[in-house]
Amino acid sequence: MADKKFVFMQGDEACALGAIKAGCRFFAAYPITPASEIAETMARELPKYDGAFIQMEDEIASAAAIVGASVAGVKSMTATSGPGFSLMQEVIGFASMTEIPCVFVDVQRVGPSTGLPTKPSQGDVMQARWGTHGDHPIIVLYPSTVEEVYKHIITAFNLSEKFRTPVIFLMDELLGHMRESFYLPSDDELEIIPRMSDDISDEEIYHPFESEMEIPNPLRAMGRSKFHVSGLIHDETGFPVGTSNTASKLLKRLENKIKLHTDEISIYEEYFVDDMEILIVAYGSVARSALRALKIARSDGIKVGLFKPITIWPFPSNRLRKLMKNVDAVIVAEMNLGQIIKEVALLRHPGLKLEPLNRVDGELISPEEILEAVANLRLKLNEF
């Protein structure tokens, strides 16, 4: 550990500093609680790396600015919370259709509308998947510790570059505002996918939408490379083509570039799953409570396991389905009225008991509440 830097960092700060480490050099945003500290850190730090920070007039403009910056050749990011995230949806769709890498951070607070600005929520999980219109691919990550924020915002940029897609990075107020200590990873522990250089000869013609294994060519900066970018259905050249065949081909390729690589994109953690009888599914800040509850239950000899997805979309269904085969009951704990549980329900086998544990009052689900849910579930199982 001697060569590693020990830090005590806020979640929002870790998000900003991790993004800079990943190569982000353009950040545009409009201040909003609880994401403003990301903008503050970017405003302070980005100029040191020859990067640019712009406070835009609103969140729509912020989203559009980062898409433009990315097409111009710079890794880019914006950060907001629920109300701003709603405004950004149109641009997320555009980035998805035009396959422009960029990262959207949503530090969730209680909604809808302006809700509870200073309280955590996990109410935007489905919005992150389906907030924009039309069938579209998306990658969504959601860490649960400050250390994971730092690590996986880098993952977010890498996935965005590799799959040429917007990546949504979910956090919540608790994670954004808390401070935790950890050792920063050393450079040789980090893999960072660089943006392709713009070193192209005058004779070479760049086709930005030609693909291999459904993944388009890496994005080159607009400038020396000249190409057309349109939200309309387009062919490999980028120019609009309004035929049914082209539409079907493009939309299926967009879907498949993520779907066919789900296992590669999926990041999750498992705890005590080998002999478990009850499985807890929890993500983000709630996973912290679940892990604490799990350790207490295990010390009492109760065979509980935990599945913590960090990649929320595409949902890591393959692994979870396998784990669920071995248990009689699953508890899904989330700070919403039941969003991911609907995805888990699709994987259940006949006879499996599925229990929701929800809070929407801006308070974190506690380890005690999870233990109580486990105890109640055991009683129910014993009744049969």
Partner 1 sequence: MIGVIVLFEFEDLDNYYLVKIFGDFDVLNSGEIKNKILEKVSDVVSKDLVIDLTNVSYIDSSGLGVLIGLHKQCKLNGRRLKLFGLNKQLEELFSLTSLDKILNIYNTFEDAIKKEE
Q: State the minimum distance, in angstroms, from the CB of residue 9 to partner 1.
A: 10
Which residues does 191 contact at the CB level (< 8 Å), separation at least 6?
A: 158
Q: Could you list the residues that contact partner 1 (CB under 8 A)? A: 6-8, 10, 174, 178-181, 288-289, 292, 296-297, 299-300, 302, 364, 366-368, 371-372, 374-375
Q: Which is nearer to partner 1, 2 or 205 (CB)?
A: 2
Q: State the minimum distance, in angstroms, from the CB of residue 333 to partner 1.
A: 13
Q: State the minimum distance, in angstroms, from the CB of residue 121 to partner 1.
A: 16
Q: Which is nearer to partner 1, 42 or 374 (CB)?
A: 374
Kindly write down the DSSP assignment for every residue of 268-323, as one continuous string: EEEES-SS-SEEEEE-THHHHHHHHHHHHHHHTT--EEEEEESEEES--HHHHHHH
- Supply 366's token pair: 């506690």
Closest Cα to residue 220, out of 49, 76, 74? 74
Q: Which is nearer to partner 1, 201 or 299 (CB)?
A: 299
Q: Which is nearer to partner 1, 180 or 255 (CB)?
A: 180
Q: Which is nearer to partner 1, 141 or 377 (CB)?
A: 377
Residue 295 has phi, psi (to 5 degrees) of -65, -40
Q: State the minimum distance, in angstroms, from the CB of residue 364 to partner 1.
A: 7
Q: State the minimum distance, in angstroms, from the CB of residue 59 to partner 1.
A: 28
Q: Which is nearer to partner 1, 346 or 375 (CB)?
A: 375
Which residues does 20 contact at the CB level (< 8 Å), separation at least 6?
A: 42, 45, 46, 49, 51
Rounded CA gap, 285 and 362, in Å?
A: 12
Q: State the minimum distance, in angstroms, from the CB of residue 289 to partner 1.
A: 6
Closest Cα to residue 130, out of 320, 332, 313, 346? 313
Residue 339 has phi, psi (to 5 degrees) of -110, -60
